[in-house]
Each structure stands twice: as structure tokens, then as C-alpha cells.
Amino acid sequence: MRGNNIMGIIFANLHEDLISELTDVRITGAVPFGGKYRMIDFPLSNMVNSGINKVGVLTKSNYQSIMDHVGTGKAWDLSRKQGGLFILPPFTNTNEYSNRLTTLNSIMPFLKHSTEEYVVITDCDTVCNIDFQDVCSKHLENNADITVVYKRDQIPEKLHDPTVFSFDAKGQVIDVAINSDITGSCSFYMNIMFIKRELLIELVNKCISKNTLNFKRDIIQGEYKNLSIYGYEFNGFSPILTSMSDYFQANMALMKADVRADLFKSARPIYTKVRDDMPTKYGLGSKVTNSLIANGCTIEGEVENCVLFKGVHIGKNTKVSNCVIMQDTVIGADSSLSYVIVDKDVKVKDERTLMGFSSYPVYISKGSVV
Amino acid sequence: MYPKQEVVAMLLAGGQGSRLGVLTQKLAKPAVPYGGKYRIIDFPLSNCVNSGIEAVGVLTQYQPLVLNEYIGSGQPWDLDSMNSGVRVLSPYQQVKGADWYSGTANAIYQNITYIDRYSPDYVVILSGDHIYKMDYSKMIAAHKENKADCTIAVIDVPLAEASRFGIMNTNPDGSIYEFEEKPAKPKSTNASMGIYVFSWDKLRKYLIEDEETEGSSHDFGKDVLPKMLADGQRMFAYQFQGYWKDVGTIDSLWESNMDLLDPNVPLDLTDESWKIYSKNPVVPPQYIAEGAEVQNSLIADGCSISGAVDFSVLFSNVVVKPGAVVQDSIIMPGSVIEEGAVVQYAIVSENTIIGKNAVIGARPETIVDKDQWGIAVIGDNLKIGAGAKIAPKAMISKDVEGVEE
């Protein structure tokens, strides 16, 4: 049986500033990740795998790359007569989309005309495979008004407005600290919320009328005493991309078997736009170890601890190690690359040497010629 | 009312392909996996789309489930247009009774209604058992230029092999004056590729006549084409140059897969201008582990490789465990090669498990009696027990027990 009583809302452009190199030519949701994916593939697939078949994608500006990627939503089975994918750019000016609350306010007609009872709201900066059905079950079990998804970990240094929760024994939120100086492991918000659609409309209207426009401060922090807000702990693989170093580490984490098993579950696959590449060709004298490689590559050199996206070419006698190389990039012969993030369509000519460091990978921007 | 289509393609996909043994036990030959991610039918379907043909009828009969499911709406090949696209045409019941497709010509005859809907000028007849990239629009252009009634694609084959094919003997202008089916002493080396372009009004007339002819086997090669030639219709050969391989036997299927690994073979599947489309499984990228050795191979997404892979083609979701060796072999989707197993010169079908230290096939240089050597074939969804030995040339369709060590 397909379909349930839940709809999805995805903020596709928030937190762009944290990985500004990668978002120079695209929005957060369109950032390539893990050899064949874009960041929006994770929330979209999670929603579809949870039986959600109506998803609104909010894009403030520069939405070409995301529209090109998601198209009609066919690859996620979201090209449908009932429900399906809705791309919701601002109607007139981008000021309406200046923050979470005003953005939600500007899609009020979409929210009001929907008939689903619940809404899942999420961002695009976290790589994870989460079952929203389970969040929903817990939400109903707790008889909650709002369920916030959190993880227990150290807060990433650059995370915007980190929101830390305290719970009572039943898991109900009894305190909310935003931007506090908590150190060490704590329960912080993953920007994933489960809420009744009508309650969301009511809260957004209330905030707009009072001109209190901070989603976390005015809805979560402002209402936890009046409403029953429960936490849902997610303890799977879930890196948040708050810096280029995070981005690099999250890609490298895919070399671990348990991470891949957690992220790429065969029963809950991550869907992405299809490109008809042939399988990857490993040439005579190629040497590949501990690497994640997508279809369509041609490898004639040596590859170690790398993520190679679709259609990458590694030339003869070239060694790439600890690199993330995005689609259709060509690395010539007799070159050496180490700790480099190479964006799409880059040409690295023969006999080039590029070196970064594990905590500071070098970045080569889209379409460059080295 | 359907919009007119200048060309309709009809793809004969009903054959059993019995020479492929266990590989076609549960599916029709055109659905046999090829090249790490394709099925054979992807080639004619992609050729159609790349040649600008928008209406394709696929005639199915033998074990159609996998093929029907694979073709689906035709979306992977862009063949899901509103008024045209791909249609699966299976045999059906009529007022006068029910008939299987009794021959290639009869299969087209039974679907005259489908073709007529598009009022085409030309009909292209294709088969689903060859690997090749061909622009049918050039062949159709030649057909028009020659004002032909029928054009048959031919490929130059070595004289020594010509007696295995249907040979077209032509005049200098390319017109055909004689067919020879598998001649003992071939006069020329123009082998028919089983690809025909007909002017539809002519073909339609001949199909109806053939249907009424007593004793006809309703076959293009045996009945319709000889009759047209005898009647003096304009029949031309169209010379094709490029890679073309029949993959109807275990050996040729294996060879054609291996051809993808040879940079000197003119079959380039990376060519952006002539893509071969297929249904793509939803799987993560492939992972090559530390200690793996992969060379001269084609590996698809979803694979996890920890052993040694050389001169092989691995389809999606294949697992090669540490210490396992895969050489000169084809491993189809979802199969697992356990620790220490050695697979050489073999084809392993889908979702089969090759147990620890099992030995499948052998290198030809290790076999004294060459008649005993050949490609070993393991069927789908089987378990080959730990330590079991499968001889070269074997064809396995049942589970094989392990051997105590």
C-alpha cells in the first residue's frame, strides 16, 4: 500500500554559507555527495521510503541546479497525479524566503490546500537514512504535538544556532537551549520536525502576527511549555556538513563497511537521477584500494581512499589518494593528487601535483583547468 | 486516430535461445544480461531511439515475464510517448481461434493492426539477439534512394565462416540476385544480419499472401524473402560496418562480453552520441576494498570487491570476498563469490552463491584434452557448496553440495 497521511517539506538552500566553495554554483540540496548523489537525494528518498508521496521543496534562489536534478521527481517515484513533487520558489521576491518562518508563511496556500494530517520538515545538510514512519509511530505513541529529531553527539563547531534539548524520563522536552556554551556530548536538534499540519499553520500564523520570526526561538523554545514536544533520537550515521572538512570526512566515512550498511540499506535505497553510464572500466595496470567508485569511470592509474563520481577518468601512472573527485572530471597521466576535492568537469592535465592535508583539503572549482 | 509514423520497428523477441541453456531457462534470450548492466534488448531498443524511430513493437512469446517487466512503460529508453513508444505484443485469442506465433512472418502478420494504426511507409524488422550499434535511419535512407521494396543489412564475414550464415549474393549496384542459406561453398561473404527494411504496403501484401500459402513455415528467411525475390521485387543489400555479434551461444556471449575489455574492439559504450540505455538499478556506487586487485575489468555499481578480479565483467551487487579469484568470467547481478573460491572462464548467473574454496571452470592451458574445455555455466539462484569443483564446459542448473575438507 502506498501513501500515508504525511507530507514532506524540504528546505533545499539553508546553510549554504558553511560550504561556500561547493555552493558557489549551486544550492545545498544540489551539492554532490558519495559518488553519485546530491544532498537532496537523502531527505527525498527518506520521505519516499517512509511512504510519503507529497513533497514540497523550498528553494530561495539559484534553483536551476536543483530543478535540473529532480526534474519531475520520476527518479524518486514522485511524478504522480496525486501528490508528487512540488518545487516552491518564492512567488515575487526572495525577501519572503529570508528565514524559515517567513518561508513557511509564503507557502501557506500549499500548506492549507494539502489534506495530509502531518508534516515532516527537514533540511538538506545532513546525510542520513531515517525512517519517518518510525518517527510518526513514536509521535502517536507519545500523543505529542511536535516531535523533534535529535542526535547525541558533540555539536559541530560551526553549526548555526545549535539547539540543545533536555528531556524528562518520558522523552518530553523540558528545556531548550539555543546557542548555549554547552561542551561535550549533548542532545542537539537535527532540524527535522514532525508536526500536525494544522498546528504548523496555527503556529506560523501566530508568529507572523506577533512579528516573532525565529523558528527555533519562537516555535520550539517559545512553545515547549504550552505544547507537548517530544524528542526522537536518531543514532544512525548522520554527518552534518558544516564545513569543507566535514564534507571531506563524511565522504571518507563511506569507506567503512558499517557506515555503508547503515546508509545504503537495500530495503530503503537512496534514489538519485539516472544517467546511463556504462559500468566502470579498470584498465591494465590500474590499482584501486579502499575506494568508492560510481559507474562510468575509466581508471588507468592508482586510486587509494577516494570517492570517484560518475564519469571520472584517471590517467596512466597517475596516483590519486584521499580525494573526492566529482563527475566527468579528467585527471591526466603522470599526475599526483592527495587530499583534494575536485568539483565537476575539471581538467587536470598531465604531470600535475596537487596536495592538501587531511584537515584542510584543497578545493578545485567546477570547470577549472589545472 | 494515431499520428502517422514514417517508420515502425518490429522487434522479434520471442525466441527461446535454447543454445544458452540454463541462462534462458526462465527468460527469453533478449532479456539475457550483457556487459555489466545491460540486457541484450537494450541494443536494438537504443538503436531505434537513437535512429529517431518512435514506435517499436516487441513480439514476445517464450518466457515473457522478465522481458515484459523489464520493458515496462519504455521510460528508460524514452519510449513512453503519449501516442507511440514501445508496445509489448504477445500472441492473443481471436474470433477464429488462438494461435501462437508460428514463424517470424506470422508474428508480424498477426500484428498488422498494430502497424496499420501508424500508417507507416516503412517497417524495420529487428531481432533481439545481437550486440551492435547501428543507425537504422541511414539504412532507411539507402532503401529510399534505391527505391527498394526490401533492404537487408549485411556484414562482411571471413570466407571461412560464411557457411554459417545466410549469404546475399549481389549485383554491383547492391541489388540482390540470390540468397543462399548456410551454403557449403559461399559465393560471397555478405552475411545477413537479420535486419530488414520493408516498404509497408509491399510487406503487408506479402504477409497476407504468405499466410494463405499452404505449407509455408511463415518465416522471413525461408518463405517471404525468397517469394519476393522470385517475383522480381527490388531487393537490396545494405552494407554495415562496425561491431556486430550474435550472442546466441555460450561461447559467443562470453566472447562478446570480453570484447568490451579489449580497447581494440570497435564497440564503445561510452560514446555520448550513441548511448545504450537501460533500466538502472537503485544501488550505491561500487566499493573496492583494501587488498582487492582489480584489473582489465568492467564493474557495475553496487558491487563490493575484496578479492582479485581480472579480465571479467561484474554486474550490479556482486560480492567478491577476500581471497576469492575471478578471472576471464562473467558474474551476473547479486551473485556472491565466497572466500577462497576460484572462478575461471565461467558465466555465473544471477543471485548464485559460490561457496568457500569452490573451484569453477579452469584455464584452457591446464586442460590436456581441449575437447573437454569450455566455459562453465552456473544457473541463477543456486548454491555451490564449499570446496565443490565444477568442471570446465559444465552447465549447472541445480545446487551442488559442498565437499568435506
Chain B stretch 76-115, residues whose beta carbon is closer than 8 A to a beta carbon of chain A: 76
- State whether residue A264 sits within 8 Å of chain B by CB: yes
Per-residue pLDDT band for B163 (boundaries 50, 70, 90) equals confident
B125: helix, coil or strand? Answer: strand
Closest residue by Cα to residue A240 from A161, A132, A307: A161
Kindly give, in sequence order, each residue whose CB lies less than 8 Å from that of residue A9, ignoring residues fewer than 6 positions away. A55, A56, A58, A104, A107, A119, A120, A121, A122
Tell me: do A249 and A316 sit in the same domain: no
C-alpha A75/C-alpha A58 separation (Å) is: 19
Q: Work out the end-to-end distance of chain B between its first and last CA atoms, rounded to an integer number of angstroms.
A: 70
Structural contact between residues B350 and B319, judged by C-beta atoms closer than 8 angstroms: no
CA distance B46 to B277: 6
Q: How far is A329 from chain B (nearest CA, A)?
A: 15
Chain B residue numbers with beta carbons less than 8 Å from the beta carbon of A256 are none
Pairing of strands B319-320, B304-305: parallel
Do residue A10 and residue A56 come from a single domain?
yes
A-B C-beta contacts closer than 8 Å: 102
Amino acid identity, position B373: W
CATH code, A310:
2.160.10.10
Assess contact for B355 and B372: CB atoms under 8 A: no
Is the pLDDT confidence value at B328 over 80? Answer: yes
Residue B282 has its nearest CB partner, among A271, A296, A303, at A271
CB A308 within 8 A of CB A294: yes
pLDDT tens-digit map of B184-196: 899 999 999 999 9
Residue A274, domain member (yes or no)? no
Contact between B309 and B326 under an 8 Å Cβ cutoff? The reply is yes
Task: Compute the nearest-CA separation of A270 from chain B (Å).
Answer: 7
Residue A212 is predicted with a pLDDT of 86
H helices of A144-219, where? 197-210
CATH code of the domain in which A216 resides: 3.90.550.10
Q: Which residues of B touch A277 (CB under 8 A)?
A: 270
Domain range for residue A187? Answer: 3-263
Of A263, A294, A329, which one is at a domain's C-terminal end? A263
Mark out the alpha helices in chain A (DSSP H runs): 41-49, 64-70, 100-106, 108-113, 132-141, 197-210, 222-223, 244-252, 257-263
Residue A20 confidence (pLDDT): 83
- Chain B: residue nearest A279 by CA? B300
Q: Are residues A208 and A63 in the same domain?
A: yes
In 3D space, the residue among B359, B353, B259 whose CA is nearest the CA of residue B313 turns out to be B259
Owner of C-alpha cell 494544522? A198
Percentage above 70 pLDDT, chain B: 99
Is A261's Cβ below 8 Å from some Cβ in B? Answer: no
Query: How confident is the model at residue B405, as a pLDDT?
Result: 60
Give the Cα separation of B325 and B307 in Å (integer). 6
Partners of B41 in beta bridges:
none
Indicate yes or no: pTM above 0.90.
yes
Cβ of residue A357 closer than 8 Å to a chain B Cβ: no
Q: Which residues of chain B does A288 touch, with a Cβ-Cβ cutoff of 8 Å?
A: 288, 292, 294
pLDDT at B306 over 90: yes
Instruction: Count Cα neighbours of B181 within 13 Å in the Cβ-side half-sphere.
Output: 8
* Domain end residue (candidates: A236, A263, A290): A263
> For B330-356, how does the pLDDT look when each residue is reduced to its tens digit (9 = 90+)?
999 999 999 999 999 999 999 999 999
C-alpha cell read off for B80: 513512453
Tell me the three state secondary structure of residue B197.
strand
How close does chain B come to A61, measured CA to CA in Å?
Answer: 30
**Chain A residues touching B37 at Cβ < 8 A:** 278-279, 295
Q: Return the exposure string of A260-299: e unless at least 16 CB atoms fall within 10 Å of the residue's CB, then b.
A: beebbeeeebbbbebebbbbbbbbeebbbbbbbbbbbbbb
Q: Tell the burial category of A228 from Cβ atoms under 10 Å away from its Cβ (0-12, 13-18, 19+).
A: middle
For Cα atoms B389, B396, B40, give the angle at the middle one, nearest 5 degrees: 125
Query: Within an 8 Å CB–CB cutoff, is residue A78 touching chain B?
Result: no
**Contacts for B263 with CB less than 8 Å, ≥ 6 apart:** none
Helices (runs of H) and strands (runs of E) counted in chain B: 8, 33
Q: Which chain A residues contact residue B282 at CB under 8 A?
A: 269-271
**Cβ–Cβ contact B275 with A under 8 A:** yes
List of residues 6+ apart from B285 with CB closer than 8 A: A34, A35, A36, A292, A293, A294, A295, A307, A308, B301, B302
A162 and A309 belong to one structural domain: no
Question: What is the rounded CA–CA span in Å between residue B276 and residue A348?
Answer: 28
- Chain B residue with CA closest to A308: the answer is B285
Same domain, A54 and A150: yes
Beta-bridge mates of residue B111: none
A214 and A174 within one domain:
yes
- Are the Cβ atoms of A293 and B286 closer than 8 angstroms? yes
| Residues B162/B181, Cβ–Cβ less than 8 Å | no
> Rounded distance, CA A255 to CA A34, Å?
10
pLDDT above 60 for B203: yes
Whether A289 sits inside 8 A of B295 (CB atoms) is: no
Helix or strand or coil: residue B36? coil
Quick one: pLDDT at residue A94?
A: 60
Whether A322 contacts chain B with CB within 8 A:
no
Specify if A268 maps to a domain. no
> Residue A273 corresponds to which amino acid?
K
User: In this complex, is the C-beta atom of B278 within 8 Å of any C-beta atom belonging to chain A?
Assistant: yes
10 Å Cβ neighbour count for A220?
A: 22
Q: Is A369 helix (H, G, I), strand (E, B) or coil?
A: strand
Is residue A360 one of the residues assigned to a domain?
A: yes
Q: Do B290 and A290 touch (CB under 8 A)?
A: yes
* Chain A contact for B364 (CB, 8 A cutoff): no
Assess whether A46 and A164 both reside in one domain: yes
Do B295 and A284 count as a contact with CB atoms less than 8 A apart?
yes
Choose among B37, B75, B290: nearest Cβ to A279: B37
Name the residue among B160, B397, B156, B129 with its Cα closest to residue B247: B129
Ramachandran sector of residue A279 (left: φ over 0; alpha: ψ -120 to 50; beta: rest):
beta
- The pLDDT score that the predictor gives to residue B310 is 96
Whether residue A113 is contained in a domain is answered as: yes
CB contact (8 A) between residue A295 and residue B276: no
The answer as to whether A369 is a domain residue is: no
User: How far does CA A39 lie from the centroid of its chain?
Assistant: 4
CB-CB: which of B37, B276, B297 is closest to A282?
B297
Tens-level pLDDT at each residue, chain A (370 residues): 455 799 999 999 888 788 888 888 888 999 999 999 999 999 999 999 999 999 999 987 777 888 889 999 999 999 988 889 999 887 666 666 678 888 898 899 999 999 999 999 999 999 999 999 999 999 999 999 999 999 999 998 888 889 999 999 999 999 999 988 888 899 999 999 999 999 999 999 999 898 888 888 888 888 889 999 999 999 999 999 999 999 999 999 999 999 999 999 999 999 999 889 999 999 998 999 999 999 999 999 999 999 999 999 999 999 999 999 999 999 999 999 999 999 999 999 999 999 998 888 999 999 999 8
Residues of chain A with C-beta less than 8 angstroms from the C-beta of B300 = 279-280, 295
Inter-residue contact B379 to B350 (CB < 8 Å): no
Rounded to a whole number of angstroms, the distance from the CA of B337 to the nearest CA of chain A is 18
Determine, for residues B37 and A278 on separate chains, whether the beta-carbon distance falls below 8 Å.
yes
Q: Is residue A271 part of a domain?
A: no
Domains in chain A, number:
2
Q: Is B291 part of the contact surface with chain A (CB cutoff 8 Å)?
A: yes
d(Cα A306, Cα B353) in Å, to the nearest integer? Answer: 29
Q: Which residue of A has its CA nearest to B286?
A: A293
- Domain match, A233 and A306 both: no
User: Cα–Cα distance between A67 and A87 in angstroms, integer?
Assistant: 8
d(CA A345, CA A341): 12
For residue B249, the surrounding DSSP H or E stretch is none
**CB contact A281 to B (< 8 Å):** yes
Q: What does the pLDDT look like over B274-289, one tens digit per residue?
A: 999 999 999 999 999 9
CA distance A201 to A121: 13
- Is the model's pLDDT at B264 over the cut of 60? yes
B285–A279 C-beta distance less than 8 A: no
Q: Which contacts (CB < 8 Å, 24+ apart) does range A164-171 have?
A: A164/A188, A164/A189, A165/A189, A165/A231, A167/A231, A170/A142, A170/A230, A171/A142, A171/A230, A171/A231
The span from the CA of A65 to the CA of A87, in Å, is: 12
What does the DSSP assignment read for A237-293?
Answer: S--B--SHHHHHHHHHGGGSHHHHHHHSBTTBPPP-----PPPEEE-TT-EEESEEE
Q: What is the mean pLDDT of residues B237-262?
A: 94
Asked whether A361 and A339 are in contact (CB, 8 A), the reply is yes
Residues A102 and A223 in one domain: yes
Cα–Cα distances (Å) from B122 to A50, B200, B204, B405, in that order, read 49, 5, 11, 65
Distance in Å, alpha carbon of B369 to nearest chain A alpha carbon: 31
CA-CA distances (angstroms) from residue B53 to A223, A334, B81, B137, B194?
61, 45, 12, 8, 18
Is B271 in CB contact (< 8 Å) with chain A?
no
Cβ-based contacts of B331 with chain A (< 8 Å): none
B73 touches chain A (CB under 8 A): no
Asked, for residue A226, whether it belongs to a domain, the answer is yes
Contacts of B289 in chain A (CB under 8 A): 289-290
Cα angle, residue A330 at apex, residues A324 and A333 outer, rounded to 5°: 105
Which residue bears the cell 568537469? A345
Contact assignment for B295 to A281 by CB distance below 8 Å: no
Contact B292/A289, CB-based, under 8 Å?
A: yes
A179 Cβ under 8 Å from any chain B Cβ: no
Among partner residues B75, B285, B296, which is closest to A35 by beta-carbon distance?
B285
ipTM (interface pTM): 0.89
Give residue A62's pLDDT.
Answer: 76
Task: Give the pLDDT mean for B233-242.
Answer: 96
Q: Which residue among A237, A263, A289 closes a domain?
A: A263
B315 → chain A, closest CA residue: A279
DSSP string, B339-400: TT-EEESEEE-TT-EE-TT-EE---GGG-SSGGG---EEE-SS-EEPTT-EE-TT-EE-S-B
Q: Residue A79 CB: number of other CB atoms within 10 A?
A: 14
Residue A35 within any structural domain of the chain: yes
Looking at the complex, does the CB of residue A36 fall below 8 Å from at least one CB of chain B? yes
Is the same domain home to A288 and A207?
no
Determine the longest span between alpha carbons in chain B, in angstroms: 71
Whether residue A348 sits in one domain with residue A239: no
Please give the pLDDT value at position B1. 67
Same domain, yes or no: A248 and A287 = no
